[in-house]
Structures are given as structure tokens and as C-alpha cells.
Structure 1
Amino acid sequence: MKDLVSILDGNTFLVSDRTGDIEPSYDFPTGLFSFDTRFLSKWMLTMNGQRLHALSVDDNESYRTRFFLAPGEPTHYLDAKASVIRNRAIVGSFEEELTVLNHAGEEVEFTVRIEMAADFADLFEIKNARQKVGRTTVSMTDSELRLTYRREAFHRETVISSSTPATVDPAGMTFQIRVPRNSEWTTTLHVSTIVYGARGEDIRATLPYGGSRSADAIRAEQQELIDRAPKLGCDCEPLAGAYRRSLNDLAALRYESIALGVRLLAAGLPWFMTLFGRDSIITSLQVLPFLPELIPPTIVMLAGLQGHRVDDFRDEEPGKILHELRYGETAGFEEQPHSPYYGSADSTPLFIILLDEYERWTGDVQLIKRLEPHVRAALEWMDTYGDLLGTGYLCYQTRNPETGLGNQCWKDSWDSISYADGRIPGFPRATCELQGYAYDAKIRAARLARTFWGDPAYADRLEREAASLKQRFNHDFWIADREYYALALDADGRKVDALSSNIGHLLWSGIVDESRAGKVVGHLLGPRLFSGWGVRTLAEDQSRYNPIGYHVGTVWPFDNSIIAWGLWRYGFRDEAGQICDAMLAASRYFQGRLPEAFAGYARDLTDYPVEYPTACSPQAWSTGTPLLLLRVMLGLEPQGEHLIIDPAVPPGMGRIELLDIPGRWGRVDALGRSRDPDEPLGG
């Protein structure tokens, strides 16, 4: 996505090239999107029949961008007698102010044309190159172009208008203009995206933030959220820049739920601008110490959509927490199962972990009591439907072989779970980190049962089950001759022996025997897994290793933040600092915005982190990574009514000061300083 430019606000986002143009594509989601539908698939500017070229792009704000353009080939810029500024924003709807500047010494006539089209493609149709089933119609007036899509009750519209007169035709608008010498001409184009509900109403208009808003209102809302976060002062500029960028992106990634009309954190742009169980939970864990008020809407939404029946199409089972929720055409007509879809085995234990961690930070006992039935149902799912083989281990196999996900762990691409020699195991699969999550969920649920639900017998049972799971896990998953935990167990209980980053999640969960923790750490920070920029998803000597393979060799910032948290939990503070240092050093090359993933090349080979070609950016759990790294470096841990602060700042990072950390204790400050302030960041 390096050569693409995006803007977003709420449920609407736009992705274009660096001139601001959108060209029809089923290869990548360029266009104007809202609620999983593409409302503009073509938006191409020409002047006197020529495409324009970018001089500069100002994209410092998430919801607005300015493109400075000139006609002709780039080599002709010095001779250009005109230039164009496209000033665009997502302000509920999409607006573009188009300005033509005449730099000639005389009046000049220009033909300005914008080609416009809307294919109303669902995101899944773009991913899978599927064509539309419904019918699109076009109607025009002197100042408006209306494109309408209908498929039975599914009804969407794109309405485009101009503030100045235009010649409107089915494919766009043309402006014949005369611009005096050293003067300019301006028009404003307004694009409304209309999502019709079952009663014919515009759903967007019913949402608190759904209508048009001014840029000032958006800026004020985002700034208000940023101002509530703790204030960071530090000597490390990469950390300061990443923190600022993370807060800005978190403010931008909030979207509105149709079901509840509340603001939730979307998983990432462009593919995942919606609620994801796993992604939303992990992002919430990262964000919790900084903006705890963002968390309850996600918890309540996930609880409200908890599975209550067996539905093979949606991979739904009683007590299961959803994987993904979509609002588009393919979900509505059940061509995809995402209304919602429950194809993840980890979101259910992670839901319990988040709820407990939220109470530990905030003391919100009412939410804990309110959601007791949901936690009990989630635990019941773990012990029944989640234990497909009756072995006491969480495992997965889709109920829907047509459209369901094969891998239902966080590494959900088809080849992400393999033996060291590259073979792919059959189903069901019990990946190692799932067992860690299950262990942690039971320990945490026991605390909730004993402290808040008045059920000590249930708490005792959960603790016994957790202890048994830990003992069995350390026997069944440990590969003694290699001294690391297997990636998974296959359907026959054989160890899937690839060395992967998943073992770092085991440290976070606490399921690793203390006697083996050092061996695990040695692998995580050893040259096979650690690239110098972070821990790879798969060790470089494994058969399927590919430094630019999605889950088989790339470095994922969120993954590294969880690993750093795990290292901290087991007392490996220096090693946790190595990962924090590497991530922050990498962030400098991404202007402070860590992407979804980047290549696993060794640091001494490339000297800079190589971009993964289609990484989401911003992506929520990458955006949350610098925040969790801050927690790790400052050693922040809630304990009763107090916040424990036990900093271990990596060498060369200098002073870190975090003021007004919110929680049940009110607000407190944390200060840490590295032992060797003269050592440069990144070694």
C-alpha cells in the first residue's frame, strides 16, 4: 500500500493512488467504501484530456488529504502553466474541493473532466474477483449524478453533486472553464453514500455520527480522545513519534455499530474496517492502560453477539465469541457467513482474559456481574464444542468446508500451520497458543467467580482444570530433543514440530513451566526467529519459511508486543527490552505507524525493515503495539487498588515519563530511565 493514499472517518474510507485517482480494480480495494460496499470504483481527473501527476501529497490528517498536481509528464513540470489542488475529506460523506490555478500571463480555457462510476462491489467480491448479481441504474440532472444498485431488498446509492455548473453524463462530469491570468477556479464535489434499511430509511442517518460533519467537528472529537490519554515525555524520538501516531490512528479507526450505535475499534484498513473478535480483543488489551473507556463497547458487543445455537454455515456454537461481523451484500444474501461469522477458536478464551484484565484496571464490578452468564457460557464452550477430540485441548475444524476458514487461530492463512519439513497436518488442529489462552482464561475466570460471583466451588474447579491443563500441556507439547514447544498437535496427537513465534504467546499466558522458560526465550531471541527487527512468525530454517510469506516468516508488530509482555511476565526484562527496542527502531522507517506486518529479512541484510506489499495500515493491533511496549518498559501492573510501576527501560532509550495513567487508583505517573543513556537506539 506504499503508493496508495487513504482517508477515513467512522464507517467510511477512501483509498486512491497518489494523484487522488481511483481506477476500476478487482485486484486491490481502491475506491470509496462504507459498510463493506464500494460506492465509488472510478474517480479519475483529467485536464484537457491529460492525466495529472503528483507534485506533493499532504496526508497528515486521517480524514483529509491534499494532492498538489500538474498536467503532463513529470519531466514537463517546469513548463507547466497550470496546476491543480485536490482537497478532500471524509466528513460523514465524501467531499472534494477541486481548484485549478492558471499560472500563465493570459486567460486560459480548460476542459476539466472527472470520470465517475460505482460498481457497489462487496469487499469479498473484490477479494475473490466475483461479479455483481444485482442491477445498477444511472440517473442525471443538471447538477447531480445518481447511481443506484438494487438486488431484491438490498439497496445502495451513490449521489454526486457539484457546487458549480457541469455537463453531467452517465460516466461523469465535465467542466468547461475559463480562468483569468494568475487566477484560480474552484468547485466542490459532494458524494453521498446511502445505505438503505429494511424500511427504506438511510441507516447512516440514524447513527449518532452517521450524517455529514464538519472537519472541525471531526478534529475536535479526535483531539478530545487524544487529550484523555496519558501524556508521554521521553528522550527517544521513535517512541514519541510512534505514541503520537498510535493515538491519532486509534481515534481514526473507531467506527459505528449499526446494532448498538456505539463506537467500536475497527481491525484495520482497507480489508478489516469492522469488528473482529480476536483483533478487537487484543487491541483492547493493548489500549486498556491508556484509554480504558474505549473497551466496554467492544466487550458488550461481543457478549451480545455470543453464539447461541449450532449453525454449520457460520461456524456458530453456543457460547462461542464471534470472529468477524460484516454488513455487505454477500453476508446479507448468505454467500459469505459473516453476519456474524464465528470461525476462530481463540476469541472465546481471549474474551474472558480481556474482561478480567478490564476489571483489574478499572474496578468496574457491575460489568463483571452483568456478563457472568456470558463468561460461564464461554467456559462451557471451551470444555465442549472447543474440545473436538475430547483430549482436553482446544482445537478447531470448520463446520463449513465451502466458505469457512480452515485455520481458526490468529495465523489463519492456509499454510501457516505446518510440520518443520513443510507438511500440512490434517484437522482438527490444536495449536499451542490456544492452550495457553485456555489456561489463562480459567485462572482469570476463577478469580471472577471467587471475588464477584460468590461461587468458590466453581473457582476451585476452574483452578484444578487449569493446573491439569498446564501439566498435560508441558508433557504433550514439549519437544525434548529440540527444547521448544510444538506449534500444534495434529488429529492423532502427534507434535506439529515447526518452530514459530507462537511459543512467545505461551509465556504471556503463563502456561510455560518455569524450568523451560529460559529455553523458550533462547529460541525467541535466537537468530532463527529473531530478525533484528523483531521475532519472525516462522523460524528461517523451517521448510515453509518465506520472509515475505504472510504467516510463514514475516514480522508482525502485534505478535512481538504479546511476546514482549510474556518475556516481562517471566522476568526476562532485558530480552523484552530487545523486542521493544527493535520495534521502535523499525517504526522510524514507517513514519511511526507500524504496519500489519513487514518482511522477515535479517537486519544486517537489509539495514531497514522491508514492507510487506499488501499490509493493512493503519491496523488496530499494530497501532496498539507501541502502547503495550510502553506498558512493558515501565513495568505497569494493576494490583488491587494500586498500580505497580517497575521500569526496565532498554539501554540508550533514556528517560520515559508517562503522566496521568488512568485506573481504579485515579491517575498516577510513571517514570523510568535506561541504565546507559549514551548508547544509541537500536544498538
Structure 2
Amino acid sequence: MIPAPTVSTLDGNTFVVSDTAGDIDASPTEPNGLFSWDTRYLSRWILTVNGSRLRPLSTDDLHYFETRFFLVPGTGTVYVDATYSVIRQRAVVDGFRETLTILNHADNPIDLTVRIDAGADFADLFEVKDHLKKKGKYYTRVDHRLLLGYERDTYRRETLISTTSPADLDDDGLTYTVHLDPHTSWTTEIQVETSLWGWAANQAAHHRITSDEDTAHTRRDMETELQRWLEEAPKLECDWEPLKHTYRRSLTDLAALRFAPMTAGKRSLPAAGLPWFMTMFGRDSILTSLQALPFVPSLAATTLAELGARQGSRIDDFRDEDPGKILHEMRYGELTAFEERPHSPYYGSADATPLFITLLDEYERWSGDTRLAADLEFEARAAINWIDQYADLRGDGYIWYQTRNPETGLENQCWKDSWDSISYHDGTLPGFPRATCELQGYAYDAKRRAARLARDVWKDPSWAAQLEKQAADLKARFNRDFWIEDQKYYALALDADGNKVDALGSNIGHLLWSGIVERTRAKHIVDHLLGPRLYSGWGIRTLAEGEARYNPVGYHVGTVWPFDNSFIAWGLRRYGYKKEAARVAAGILDAAEYFNGRLPEAFCGYERTVTKYPVPYPTACSPQAWSTGTPLLLLGTMLGLQAVGPHLVVDPALPMGIGHLALLDVPGRWGHRDAYGRGRFQIRAEDRRKLRPQLSPLETVVNRREQR
């Protein structure tokens, strides 16, 4: 059995991925190591005692930034007790700080040779993913510290390793000679620091190892900050205990995934996810901010400000950049620095731009922060102009995408961005450009929301009327051009010739969220979403069973994505399908219990009655931002939370098994308000576990009377 990795992270800028013994032994293609700003600063960090590696007894995640490993020597047999044990405690603080403690349990003294092998390949994350070789040179310096370095022209990255106990340092690590009397212990502190520019530029700030008091103070600050983060979020009261655990886990993981861009000061926004995407992502940061708005609205404010500051301003084929376009991904590693990758930033996303306007409007509705909405008027107008001028590649009024960088640009620039995610029913792939259906829904929603802002905030009623007319025209054309009459659903996309790409996928659920679906057709869409081809019992699949490319273990062709389901549930509520929304919420939240409250990026699309539990997708990011935000949006959906003028409107519809649900102190332009929902039926936790394989969350309780 391969041990599960242990992940620690700090503010989204620095994180560690190791095995359950705390060791890092990364091959060039494995995402293990100490990473910061898209570079791996440690690829080897292996603890041995007397030449042998240790066995883990347990691993405790103390906080998202701190982990403790309990280790013993490998005795070769279960019948031999360990005479000593090792406690390895690691906190990710400006690199990481590791406290190593060895306890002698024997009646005799022992002499040990304790060794840490250290190495750094300084791999760019793209080099790890794409199996690429380095082009620069490595260097090592040893004095009272060990410095590992890499340089290529003016590009330099360094790792500095210091210790509080006497050690023999060499180019490959540290060695301690330890004598322990009976029933005594030995402790040392090791600090690993990272530098983007080399220590010469920061020598004054790094002339010594951080003191124990400094590190303890930093830890306390982080613990206090996390506690404040949790206390400021709405309080959840519920009679289903696993939901409480999932809620707290989501808030904690969201804190861990905060990313502070270099220009944001102490403000942060959601990074996309570990281990590959700890950076600013336009689409992911926007959608996660939407999910978290009723809980931590500050994330949305930072996301809007930072994405607006980096909005496209020119035509750049290498970066797929256009004026007004919102970035897709921002990177800071070597390949980006030498323009071997276009991520400085890269703009290959067709949905981030309309979604930017969606978030701006929703944020203003919730927060009442008209100042930010006013400040971003120019950016919002530029985004609308991008939709009308640059995204309409065929001149028919739709958003289309096609990369102008065939070497490193993304082929699919919708959220299903893998190569085979957009296909016809028979499995063939359409050519480019492509216009996926949900992009048109996002454009419709963006124009409706921009119209409201134009009228209420920017005081431009004539432009508001123009936007509303454009949105209405788009809705009429879309319902004509994308509808497949004999199948009773909307095409997944239009191909380069304007023909319908006829596969059935979860994209149609996003159409409900955007509001572009004609009311008379909504029932057909709902029947497909909750029908056996798309709905697995745990959630709605990305591609329907029966499509030629359907694969329950395929990334975008049959797996269940929690974030996808959360927005579909939101859309079901928009069209009045409360029971169906609660059914989707119940399936996903049931799945969360099996993942110990942490929903992964995706899980397999097997039928629930077949597997009895959600099967993990093998390479899913976890934690991942919009999966972390999923329980938050589902809570808001079950309670029917809406910001209407100065009021918080509550319209609950709870799945069977939740007797009562309350969110206390929901923040917004109204100050703080409480939201309650109550059900008619209640199932004890032990009965729920027994019934889970058969339990249908279709029966729901709708109670509009208890609102506040």
C-alpha cells in the first residue's frame, strides 16, 4: 500500500508534500517536496537513524500549517518492542521549521547516528508535470549552514538549512552524533528557508536561524489567526453531526488555500488547489469566492481587485491575451520567467471574464460595497467589450474559444479543459473554434448583472437598457440554436461550422444557474440531470452514461465534480426545483462523510448502489478550492439564501435526514442575520449509516415559515 501524502500549507504560498513518515523522496515527476512560488525547494529530505529509515506509527495534522509524525525503527518483526522512538514536528513558516525529538525507552544508554539527507532539484511545477530537464546549474555551500542553490542567467533560487544542535554538514545533508542516557530525550530544531533571489540580496534578514521564541510566536499568531477566521464565519447548528465536521473542515481548508499575491499585502484570495495549483486562477478563484460569499466575503473583494489589476490590455497570441480578458493562471517559476510557458499571466480561459462580472454583482448585492463596484466600472466595461468584440470569433454573438498558442496554450478553454472533454455523442471531437453552452449562459448572466450595476451603481440607465436588450436577444438565439428537440436538452457546444455537439453532459446544469433556459424547457433539463444517465446517486456526472466517451474514471468524461454539483444545485433552486436541489446536496454531503469531511476535486462516477461508497479519483487535488467551497454553497442552497436589497431572504428546503439547520450571524449589507430551516422527519445517525446505500434523498422538507 502506498502511504497517503501528508500536506501542510501556509497562505497558499508555501507547502510541503511528504509521506506519512515525514520524508520527501521525490522522483522528477512526483509532486512531493517543499514548494514555494511554483518552485520545489526540497526534493529530498530523508531521516535515518543508524542508517535505516523509520516506520510511522501515526501522523497528526495539528493545523493546516503544522504536522506531527510519530516514528519507530523498523525492528523486522512485530514481536520486538522499539527501544526508542522519534517525534518529528513540522510547521510551515517561511519555508518550514522541524523539531526532531528522540526518546530512549530503554534501561541502557544508546548511541545513535542521526542523518538527514537533503537535496533540491529546484524544479518548476511545469517541469515536474511534463518531465522536463533543467537548463541551469546547481551549487552548494557549507559553513555553519547548508546552502543549496540553482542559477540560470539572472534567475536564482536557494534553500538555506540551519540547525540549533551541533551537526556535521556536507553537500548532501546533516549528521548528528547522539548519546542518550536511559529514559532521556534529545531535541534539535532545523529550519529550512527559501529565497526567490538568493541570500546575497537578503543577507541582513537571514544572518541567523530564527529563534525558538520567534518561531513559537509565529505559530501562536497563526493559531490565533485561524481561530479568528473560524469565529468570524457563521455558526452552524445542525442535528447531523457529519455536516458540522464537513463545515469546519471546509472553513479550515479554505484558510489553508488562501493565496497572497505579491501586490495584495495581507489580503488573500483562494488558490485553486494542492499540489499543482497553489496560485491565482481566474475561474477557480472567482467560483470559490462565489461559494464562500455568505461566509467569508473578503475573499471575493481581493479576488476582484487582483484580477481586475491584471486584466488583459493588449493582443498577445503567446498568452492568449485580449483587451478586457480576465486571466486564467498566474505562475512565478523558471519556465514562466524565461517565457517557455505563457503564464505571466496566461489568459486561456473563455469563462473567467463573464464570471468576473457575475462575482462583482453578487458581491455588491451581499456586501453593499458600492465603492469597490464603482472602482471596477472600467474593468467591468472592458470585460463586456471582450465578450462582444474579442470572444465572438464567428460574428454570431456567441463566446467561442481557440488558442492562438498551439504549442503551450490550452485547447479547451472552458472549465472542462482536458483534451477530450467536448465530444459528439459518437465520441468524435469537434474542431475549433468551439462554443460550449455554459459560456453563453455566463455571458447572458453577465449582461443582466452588468445592467443592474449600470443602473444602480454606475448611474448609466441607457447602457443598462442596452445590456438588457442584448441579454434578451442572446437568450432567444441560444434557445433556438442550441436546443436539440428530439433529445430535449441543449447541445454541449456548437462546432466550427455552427453544428450542434450533441453529447449530454453536466454543462446543462450551469444553464439553470445562469438563467438562460426557457422556463418551459427547464423540466426537461431537470429530468436529464437527475436521471440515471447523469445522476450516480452521489452526484451528477460530468458526462452521461451511454455517451461514447463515458468513463466513470475519466477526468471530465464521467467523474463527479463536487463544485459542478454545487452550482447545478444553485441553478435548480433558481428555477424552483427545491427538492431536486436538496437531493443533489444530500448526495454530495453524504460523499463528504466518506472523505472525512474534505471533498476532493473529483470522484468516480460509479452508480451508488454498486459501489456503496464514493470511489476516489486517483489524481484528484485535495484540498481543492472549489471543492472546499462546495459544502458552503450547498448550505446556502438548502437554506435558500438570497440577498434582496437590504434583506437576507431565507427559503429552506432540507434533505431527509436533517431535522434542523441554522446558520447564525450571516454577514452582509444587513449586518448579521440568522437563517433557520426545519424538517419534518429526522433519522438517527446510526440508522442513516445502515440505510445509506438505499436511502433516497429525494424526499425533502420544504418549510418557508421559519425565516429570519
Q: Structure 1 length as normaliser, TM-score?
A: 0.97
Cα distance change, pair 204–608 in 1 and its aligned pair in 2 (3 A): farther
Report the Cα distance in structure 2 between the residues aligned to 1:550 and 1:302, rounded to whole angstroms.
27
> What's the offset of the Cα at 1:77?
6.8
In the alignment, is the contact (CA less than 8 A) between 1:422 and 1:543 conserved in 2? Answer: yes
> What's the offset of the Cα at 1:51?
1.2
Other-structure match for 1:461: 466
Which of 38, 41, 55 is the aligned partner of 2:40? 38
Other-structure match for 1:419: 424
Within 5 Å, give how 1:324-343 maps onto structure 2. 324-343=329-348
Cα distance change, pair 233–2 in 1 and its aligned pair in 2 (3 A): farther
State the Cα deviation string for residues 144-186 of structure 1 (Å, max 9, x = none).
1101111122111100011111111111111121111122111
> What's the offset of the Cα at 1:456?
1.4
Paired residue type of 2:227 = Q
Which of 264, 272, 279 is the aligned partner of 1:274? 279
Other-structure match for 2:23: 21
Report the Cα distance in structure 2 between the residues aligned to 1:22 and 1:492, rounded to whole angstroms.
51
Paired residue type of 1:32 = L
Other-structure match for 2:705: none
> What's the offset of the Cα at 1:74?
6.5
> What's the offset of the Cα at 1:225?
1.3
> Identity over the aligned pairs, expressed in percent?
60
Other-structure match for 1:614: 619
Paired residue type of 2:348 = G
Paired residue type of 1:185 = W
Which of 206, 220, 223 is the aligned partner of 2:224? 220
Within 5 Å, give how 1:225-264 maps onto structure 2. 225-261=229-265, 262-264=267-269
Report the Cα distance in structure 1 between the residues aligned to 2:204 and 2:78, rounded to whole angstroms.
48
Q: Structure 2 length as normaliser, TM-score?
A: 0.93
> What's the offset of the Cα at 1:259?
2.5
Paired residue type of 1:138 = T
In the alignment, is the contact (CA less than 8 A) between 1:576 and 1:632 conserved in 2? Answer: yes
Report the Cα distance in structure 2 between the residues aligned to 1:108 and 1:293, rounded to whole angstroms.
54
Q: Secondary structure at the match of 2:61?
A: strand
Cα distance change, pair 511–115 in 1 and its aligned pair in 2 (3 A): same
Cα distance change, pair 78–529 in 1 and its aligned pair in 2 (3 A): farther
State the Cα deviation string for residues 357-396 of structure 1 (Å, max 9, x = none).
0010011111111111111100000011101111111010
In the alignment, is the contact (CA less than 8 A) between 1:446 and 1:460 conserved in 2? Answer: yes
Paired residue type of 1:244 = R
Paired residue type of 2:237 = G
Q: Secondary structure at the match of 1:626?
A: helix
Other-structure match for 1:496: 501
Within 5 Å, give how 1:458-607 maps onto structure 2. 458-607=463-612
Within 5 Å, give how 1:248-327 maps onto structure 2. 248-261=252-265, 262-327=267-332
Q: Secondary structure at the match of 2:603?
A: coil
Other-structure match for 1:208: none
Other-structure match for 2:122: 120
Q: Secondary structure at the match of 1:267?
A: strand
Report the Cα distance in structure 2 between the residues aligned to 1:233 and 1:92, rounded to whole angstroms.
37
Which of 340-349 and 362-371 deviates more?
Answer: 362-371
Task: In structure 1, list runs of 5 or more residues that go unmatched.
Answer: 206-210
**Number of matched residues?**
677
Paired residue type of 2:392 = D
In the alignment, is the contact (CA less than 8 A) between 1:195 and 1:203 conserved in 2? Answer: no
Within 5 Å, give how 1:322-401 maps onto structure 2. 322-401=327-406
> What's the offset of the Cα at 1:652?
1.4
Paired residue type of 1:118 = A
Mapped pair 1:678 → 2:683: yes
Cα distance change, pair 198–479 in 1 and its aligned pair in 2 (3 A): farther
> What's the offset of the Cα at 1:203?
13
Other-structure match for 1:132: 134
Q: Secondary structure at the match of 2:222?
A: helix
Report the Cα distance in structure 1 between the residues aligned to 2:437 and 2:233, rounded to whole angstroms.
35
Report the Cα distance in structure 2 between the residues aligned to 1:63 and 1:200, rounded to whole angstroms.
27
In the alignment, is the contact (CA less than 8 A) between 1:37 and 1:328 conserved in 2? Answer: yes
Other-structure match for 1:148: 149
Mapped pair 1:662 → 2:688: no
Q: Secondary structure at the match of 1:79?
A: coil
State the Cα deviation string for residues 164-215 of structure 1 (Å, max 9, x = none).
111111111111211111221111111011112899459999xxxxx96621
Q: Secondary structure at the match of 1:273?
A: strand
State the Cα deviation string for residues 534-589 of structure 1 (Å, max 9, x = none).
00111111111111111111111100000000000000000000011011100111
Paired residue type of 1:445 = A
In the alignment, is the contact (CA less than 8 A) between 1:196 and 1:203 conserved in 2? Answer: no
In the alignment, is the contact (CA less than 8 A) between 2:268 and 2:302 conserved in 1? Answer: yes
> What's the offset of the Cα at 1:499?
0.6
Q: Secondary structure at the match of 2:672?
A: strand
> What's the offset of the Cα at 1:128?
0.5
Which of 618, 624, 631 is the aligned partner of 2:629? 624
Which of 423, 426, 433 is the aligned partner of 1:428? 433
Report the Cα distance in structure 1 between the residues aligned to 2:588 and 2:334, rounded to whole angstroms.
39
Paired residue type of 2:254 = L
Report the Cα distance in structure 1 between the residues aligned to 2:151 and 2:672, rounded to whole angstroms.
53
Cα distance change, pair 548–74 in 1 and its aligned pair in 2 (3 A): farther
Which of 438, 448, 456 is the aligned partner of 1:451? 456
Cα distance change, pair 483–2 in 1 and its aligned pair in 2 (3 A): farther
Other-structure match for 2:168: 167
Other-structure match for 2:699: none
Other-structure match for 1:82: 84
In the alignment, is the contact (CA less than 8 A) between 2:425 and 2:504 conserved in 1? Answer: yes
Cα distance change, pair 649–608 in 1 and its aligned pair in 2 (3 A): same
Cα distance change, pair 257–107 in 1 and its aligned pair in 2 (3 A): same
Cα distance change, pair 174–203 in 1 and its aligned pair in 2 (3 A): closer
Cα distance change, pair 198–368 in 1 and its aligned pair in 2 (3 A): farther
Paired residue type of 1:508 = W
Which of 635, 643, 646 is the aligned partner of 2:648? 643
Cα distance change, pair 588–74 in 1 and its aligned pair in 2 (3 A): farther
Cα distance change, pair 159–286 in 1 and its aligned pair in 2 (3 A): same
Cα distance change, pair 179–155 in 1 and its aligned pair in 2 (3 A): same
> What's the offset of the Cα at 1:25?
1.5
In the alignment, is the contact (CA less than 8 A) between 1:418 and 1:424 conserved in 2? Answer: yes
